[in-house]
Structure 1
């Protein structure tokens, strides 16, 4: 034990594994991130909230995710003590680290003290209209099964569980990523494990079941398959600001919801897989925060669904309820403030912006601060242009520091709008140009459309209606080519403005 405690740990970011005592330790991506975060603060007590904000940034997860990762790390290092628990305070990393790997044998790539014997079986899953061959699946020998599988609560519905993950609905996306639904499905399936208690339907099985009968909602697939759990998901947003809503449907009629946010599709899909693994395979005890956490997630899920449908007014009561249930959560404050601004209600947005910024003061730096500063600048544009300019510059600088290029571009564009209102056109044009260039690099159709509309405002304010109409035509062409119905009414408003001139 003493010798092990003196052995350094090497973090191999290229493979997402650890090297300890000449052996390679495999961890799930989020668990690896937890270990690396703790190791970066040796002997320092890190609270659950600090870990969650560092590893699950901009995602709604429960405390159980931290507990699960801590337990996984301990199992992989056992019997060596790697993490010390300080009740009601947090966790501290105990082992030294090194920047150089030290593996004596290239053949020692198995997981530390976890070498299960894998058996292959062929399984037939009964379905209502026949039988579908599910194919080969593996399970861990009961003598060496990980404790997180042994401790999983028993299902009350059926002895054997069958999981069906549906292709992600990408119809709300506004660019060429709409075809990623089946790609996301395959990515998730490749990472979800199977065991003797659960079968995961493969992509071909899912497509076969979906072809049998059109359904009104995912739960209807229970009638034409042997599934006991069905996962549906919907992806929306633009590059730099994606959201993924998912629902776990159970045969007994119960549901569980999740909401994830990320700057890239890869990040969101990876977090989606991690969330499913926690809910279905690793988590599961009763949520530490109690029912309120589940209620908050459900409320936010419903609100995000309405926002994706353009029903901003209908989404606000759900977001208000989520904020009341979990007032210290800055992401919900951001969503609510943005919704109020979308409806032109700046006075209602400002208190939530301030509360969100205050909540972030106690958290590690994250992109959400720049986004809230941006909203504050926008909210102040109606009656305080100097203050609006100040906060938009702060938003731009914060977004740049966090490499949040989407809101970096937004902040520049809105600064340009402030300068247009102040008739400082020579200062506004470079900001509008740079913002449009960023949107083009991000390949964000909505952002590009807005960039051309900003130029319409720029030329229109100077009385150059010919150039203003040319920019409007460019914006309208993109809207028609990309079928961006959500901004069609905006284009019509600009046309009316152009005609009246």
Structure 2
């Protein structure tokens, strides 16, 4: 137990607690859970032990234990009252004085903390418990007692909501941020509001449940957690360009999707918490930046999932459908244009670039302007180098103005590629050096690899094969260290190019 910690006084007469001169009221079952743990303060009590002791002869799910533990913790915040031992159970950690009404604590001190009409409230609570106890087995069917059930149409029982937010899946990230999934979970939990009719599983509870059962689908946790809502999420992208996809699953089978974009992980995690508050609680901590339809979000969510798996061609129909549903949303235009460019479909990409830029002309949201200008410059490189150079220069200015350092680096590299085509090597080299330096500052493995590949093009254009091979070795080293399967085909292509020279 913590040294010099003040004791918790249990008053069985009223079913209340006293801690640091603060009167704490708990629901009857929650009070019973607290007392059960407090009486065994030196023990770690499992959920099964708690359920057997408090809900004996009743059929309840583990949700009831989670709900009571979370209620106790909320009442004692910021003090730690119960410690979780993953896969084992819970232990009470504060000193305890049982039956405070008849022991050392002055009864007058207890009374002065009670709310008005405390005796009346206690009587009503006891009466209500009695009525529930009598009514629980209230009707007979073929000689057998039947329980009230939530599925029985004769009774209108309000479901208690229990929300379980899973750690964010960060396996798609290419840098060393894989451990951020649990940090994102904790950050989101800290921002979600507390409601009396909704239990929010704390991180320790979530990890305990995940340790007990390995699942393939988030919905599998419904069977072992008692949750009524489960939120899963996945973080994709590179420093400067992140996407977070999330789904809110309902026990009944329905689901809602969300897609978020941001230049930093902190930004998308903050927006993640905001989006959950909007979907689950109908409130926002700050003005929202605009919404799109549920269909558009679902289509974009599916497209982003496919893009993260490298299924670019399969993602395109979903993006096209999202644009039909919401034609004024520039992000879908940007994603679709970039997808077409990655497949070499320049003619298909250009109309969406132009439409995206036109949409931004009517919107205060200018985040994507530099990136769309960059795509337009890249699209024109095969047919019109002067025009490509013009748009890349414009993209460079916007990127610097908005401090979009990822596309600042991309734009420098593409300007260098234009100078290679024009055989202006002395002007190209500083651009490649600056691009690589920014990618290293961003700590983006894919960007750093691309920087080395740009140097291969630079050296091969001048006939410096040895230097080109050295750059390839540096790129291959990063691929091996980070196990980046996504770029192995590109590396193999450069190997073939070097063999042919």
Deviation >6 Å, runs of 4+: 117-121
The answer to whether the Cα contact below 8 Å between 1:166 and 1:230 also exists between their aligned partners in 2 is yes
The answer to whether the Cα contact below 8 Å between 1:333 and 1:352 also exists between their aligned partners in 2 is yes
CA-to-partner distance for each residue in 1:356-410, whole Å, 9 max, x for gaps?
Answer: 0000001125220000000000111111111111101110111101111110110
CA-to-partner distance for each residue in 1:247-280, whole Å, 9 max, x for gaps?
Answer: 0000010000000000111111011011111111
Alpha-carbon shift at residue 137 of structure 1 (Å): 5.5
CA-to-partner distance for each residue in 1:290-349, whole Å, 9 max, x for gaps?
Answer: x98110000000000010111111100000000111111111000000111111111100
CA distance in 1, matches of 2:325, 2:63: 44
CA distance in 2, matches of 1:318, 1:372: 20
CA distance in 2, matches of 1:450, 1:211: 39
What is the DSSP-based 3-state SS (H/G/I as helix, E as strand, rest coil) of the residue aligned with 1:366? coil
Change (3 A) 1:251 1:468: same
Alpha-carbon shift at residue 434 of structure 1 (Å): 0.5
1:192 aligns with 2:192: yes
- Aligned twin of 1:256: 256
1:118-197 correspondence to structure 2 within 5 Å: 122=30, 126-127=60-61, 131-132=65-66, 134-135=69-70, 136=72, 138=74, 159-197=159-197
- Aligned twin of 1:63: none
CA distance in 2, matches of 1:329, 1:294: 13
Measured on the aligned residues, the alpha-carbon RMSD in Å equals: 2.3
1:207-222 correspondence to structure 2 within 5 Å: 207-222=207-222
- Aligned twin of 2:485: 485
Change (3 A) 1:292 1:407: closer
The answer to whether the Cα contact below 8 Å between 2:63 and 2:226 also exists between their aligned partners in 1 is no
Alpha-carbon shift at residue 211 of structure 1 (Å): 1.8
- Aligned twin of 1:226: 226
The answer to whether the Cα contact below 8 Å between 1:119 and 1:138 also exists between their aligned partners in 2 is no
Return 5+ residue gaps in structure 2 as ranges.
Answer: 1-22, 34-50, 52-59, 76-155, 285-290
CA distance in 1, matches of 2:481, 2:157: 48
Bigger drift between 161-170 and 210-219 goes to 210-219
Aligned length: 364
Change (3 A) 1:189 1:181: same
The answer to whether the Cα contact below 8 Å between 1:157 and 1:252 also exists between their aligned partners in 2 is no
The answer to whether the Cα contact below 8 Å between 1:306 and 1:314 also exists between their aligned partners in 2 is yes
Alpha-carbon shift at residue 127 of structure 1 (Å): 3.2
- Aligned twin of 1:274: 274
CA distance in 1, matches of 2:63, 2:398: 57
CA distance in 1, matches of 2:432, 2:273: 38
1:311-326 correspondence to structure 2 within 5 Å: 311-326=311-326
Alpha-carbon shift at residue 212 of structure 1 (Å): 2.0
Bigger drift between 275-284 and 411-420 goes to 275-284
- Aligned twin of 2:441: 441
Return 5+ residue gaps in structure 1 as ranges.
Answer: 1-116, 140-155, 285-290
CA distance in 1, matches of 2:353, 2:364: 18
CA distance in 2, matches of 1:294, 1:435: 39
Alpha-carbon shift at residue 157 of structure 1 (Å): 9.1
The answer to whether the Cα contact below 8 Å between 2:63 and 2:227 also exists between their aligned partners in 1 is no
The answer to whether the Cα contact below 8 Å between 1:134 and 1:201 also exists between their aligned partners in 2 is no
The answer to whether the Cα contact below 8 Å between 1:222 and 1:251 also exists between their aligned partners in 2 is yes
- Aligned twin of 1:84: none
What is the DSSP-based 3-state SS (H/G/I as helix, E as strand, rest coil) of the residue aligned with 2:383? coil
Alpha-carbon shift at residue 213 of structure 1 (Å): 1.8
CA-to-partner distance for each residue in 1:134-156, whole Å, 9 max, x for gaps?
Answer: 333559xxxxxxxxxxxxxxxx9
The answer to whether the Cα contact below 8 Å between 1:118 and 1:138 also exists between their aligned partners in 2 is no
CA distance in 1, matches of 2:161, 2:312: 38
Q: Greater RCO between the two (CA within 8 Å, min separation 6)?
A: 1
Change (3 A) 1:186 1:311: same
CA-to-partner distance for each residue in 1:68-117, whole Å, 9 max, x for gaps?
Answer: xxxxxxxxxxxxxxxxxxxxxxxxxxxxxxxxxxxxxxxxxxxxxxxxx9
Bigger drift between 473-482 and 163-172 goes to 473-482
CA distance in 1, matches of 2:422, 2:386: 10
CA distance in 2, matches of 1:495, 1:127: 59
CA distance in 1, matches of 2:24, 2:176: 40
CA distance in 1, matches of 2:310, 2:395: 26
CA distance in 2, matches of 1:348, 1:228: 44
1:384 aligns with 2:384: yes
Change (3 A) 1:276 1:157: farther
The answer to whether the Cα contact below 8 Å between 2:234 and 2:245 also exists between their aligned partners in 1 is yes
- Aligned twin of 2:119: none
Change (3 A) 1:455 1:157: farther
CA distance in 2, matches of 1:480, 1:436: 19
CA distance in 1, matches of 2:199, 2:305: 29
- Aligned twin of 1:425: 425
CA distance in 1, matches of 2:357, 2:429: 30
The answer to whether the Cα contact below 8 Å between 1:137 and 1:195 also exists between their aligned partners in 2 is no
What is the DSSP-based 3-state SS (H/G/I as helix, E as strand, rest coil) of the residue aligned with 1:249? strand
